Structure 1
Amino acid sequence: MVHSSSSLERLDLSNRPAAPGWFDLILDRCPNLRYFSVDNLNGEQMRKLPLKTPNLQYLKLCYMTSYSDPIIDDLAYLMENLPNLRQLLVDGKLYRLLLGQKRINLLCRRKRLSVITQPGVF
């Protein structure tokens, strides 16, 4: 079991099934995360990340179920409120959607944040 003062900085949960309540448990126990890879986050979970993991620098979202306007707002919230975020890795479909978003482009320039995708992987 990981203690709440965990020094764990890297966590890759991509391609792993998630049990109900896993997200809150992990964020409560691992406040020092700098790298977090996960298949999917909903809007509520995205809005908790800045509160629970302020040191997060790299976020990899491997699979997203929805590509509507709320996902853009949720990602913009993440970008604005994660002070140390430097790289956001998303799948190709979401990447193409983000390319046309003026708000996202401005945030990336202002915060020196890279939004990238890995062609052929997603």
Structure 2
Amino acid sequence: MGEKLPELMTLPDVLERLRGIVGRTYLLKHLREYPEFNGRPTHRKIGGKVVVRAEDYPRLLESLECRSKSSNAKEGKRYTSVVPSAEKAFMNAQTLLTRNLQKLSAPKEKRNSGRRVSMASGQ
């Protein structure tokens, strides 16, 4: 890569240089996930547009080569099991049954607002 890079490159300019390596959708996703690489920015945003400075371009290439989650990426939540334990499932079922029984045994409320309307004529 002996060519001299322009000081600022827009997203189409970067995509032209990365043709055949990554596409637009992947690059945008990558830039959202890795705004920094090795403690320095991979790109900048000016007025909502993605701009890559000449000094950031090698870092962007490096971040694309290192596609693992080990590089300063925010670590998400970890879960040990998706399936609830037998005890937890039993407690949930018991709660649902109790709630349904309470609904069935609850007294019925009157639907009118408390105002009596007489159907007799003349009143």
TM-score by length of 1: 0.21
* The structure with more radius of gyration: 2
TM-score by length of 2: 0.21
